[in-house]
């Protein structure tokens, strides 16, 4: 597993601590990672000989990561993106799965859903949706790899729809944070109108996007969990309460 290297306040490197304690003490404290997980700060080395690549970094780093990996990926390699966001370029928006596919020359599925990270780590039941472009067989392989008794994964033939759900629900969550304090009728209205606008914008960008995708975990369920508990909701609530600047919050 590639880990962006950081030096912790005690002077130790994050990857050394993960490999020593089997725990990401900075980003997921209190959760033991599988014994087979080895943190590697060297990106090229981490992907060497891999044939299934899982991308799960904040979206703003993806362009740089793909540029670094360009030319390093050889053979039959499949990718999946868990990144909820898009790259907005001068020419227009670019989905992260397309960025990966174009820059690395490989097929890329996506996995999105109502998935607050630490709750999954604590093995509380949740669901997720795999979106795929062409091969159902590859999508089912990802479903098998991610599924556990407490993590139920379903595949849908709508990569753009699934990825846009994971991306656009963040905007709805910010609106939900702004109206915090007005009561649950208002919050429910924001979620419903937000979901409808997510569908309208997604279909405008990609007419192939399916209505049914918005009823999967990546759609309505992620809107609900993020509007109730996500960090985007929290930052918007703090903004409304304090009147401070978003970048300071
Ligand atoms: N946290 C959550 O509950 C969920 C997150 N996601 C998605 O997963 C992705 C990662 O989310 P979080 O781990 O919550 O990220 P985060 O926003 O909390 O950022 C922390 C992560 O960024 C990495 N990082 C920091 N500086 C970096 C750099 N210069 N280059 C590369 N990586 C760097 C850190 O190593 C750490 O893994 C996002 O795209 C998010 O939308 C998806 C579902 C749930
Ligand atoms: O995507 C998430 C839950 O599904 C996490 O949302 P936040 O990034 O708003 O915490």
Domain of residue 169, residue span: 161-242
Q: Clarify whether residues 31 and 102 are in a common domain.
A: yes
Backbone dihedral angles phi then psi of residue 135, each to the nearest 5 degrees:
-90, 115
Least confident of 35-39, 88-92, 97-101, 104-108: 88-92
Q: Clarify whether residues 142 and 45 are in a common domain.
A: yes
On whether the CB atoms of residues 34 and 1 are closer than 8 A, the answer is: no
Tell me, using a 6 A CB cutoff, whether residue 128 lines ligand 2.
no
**ipTM of predicted complex:** 0.96
Q: Which of 98, 131, 159 is the last residue of a domain?
A: 159
| DSSP class of 34 | P
Structural domain count, the chain: 2
Q: Clarify whether residues 32 and 149 are in a common domain.
A: yes
Q: Clarify whether residues 217 and 144 are in a common domain.
A: no
Q: Clarify whether residues 150 and 90 are in a common domain.
A: yes
247 is catalytic: no
Nearest ligand (C-alpha, residue 114): 2
**Of 90, 169, 245, 247, which residue is the catalytic one?**
169
Residue pointed to by tokens 């969550």: 173
Question: Percentage of the chain with pLDDT > 90?
Answer: 90
The greatest distance separating any two alpha carbons of the chain, rounded to the nearest whole angstrom, comes to: 55
Task: Please provide the average confidence, as pLDDT, over all residues in the chain.
Answer: 96
| DSSP class of 183 | -
Task: Report CA dihedral (78, 210, 194, 201) to the nearest 10 degrees.
Answer: 80
Q: Which of 106, 132, 159 is the last residue of a domain?
A: 159
Q: Clarify whether residues 199 and 146 are in a common domain.
A: no
User: Ligand 2 center to residue 173 CA distance, Å?
Assistant: 9
- Residue 249 belongs to some domain of the structure: no
């Amino acid at each position: 597993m590639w880990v962006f290297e950081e030096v912790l306040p005690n002077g130790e490197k994050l990857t050394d601590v993960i490999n020593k304690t089997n725990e990401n003490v900075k980003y997921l404290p209190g959760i033991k990672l599988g014994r087979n997980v080895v943190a590697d700060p060297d990106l090229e080395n981490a992907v060497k000989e891999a044939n299934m690549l899982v991308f799960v970094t904040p979206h703003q780093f993806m362009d740089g990561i793909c540029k670094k990996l360009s030319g390093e990926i050889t053979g039959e390699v499949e990718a999946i993106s868990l990144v909820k966001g898009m790259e907005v370029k001068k020419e227009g928006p670019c989905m992260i799965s397309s960025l990966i596919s174009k820059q690395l020359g490989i097929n890329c599925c996506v996995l999105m859903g109502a998935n607050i990270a630490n709750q999954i780590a604590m093995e509380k039941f949740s669901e997720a949706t795999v979106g795929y472009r062409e091969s159902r067989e590859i999508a089912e392989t990802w479903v098998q790899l991610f599924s556990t008794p407490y993590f139920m994964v379903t595949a849908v033939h709508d990569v753009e729809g699934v990825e846009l759900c994971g991306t656009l629900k963040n905007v709805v969550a910010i609106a939900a944070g702004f109206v915090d304090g007005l009561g649950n009728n208002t919050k429910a209205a924001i979620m419903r109108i937000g979901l409808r606008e997510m569908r309208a914008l997604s279909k405008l960008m990609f007419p192939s996007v399916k209505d049914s995708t918005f009823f999967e975990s990546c759609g309505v369920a992620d809107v609900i969990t993020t509007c109730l508990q996500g960090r985007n909701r929290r930052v918007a609530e703090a903004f409304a309460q304090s009147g401070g600047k978003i970048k300071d919050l």
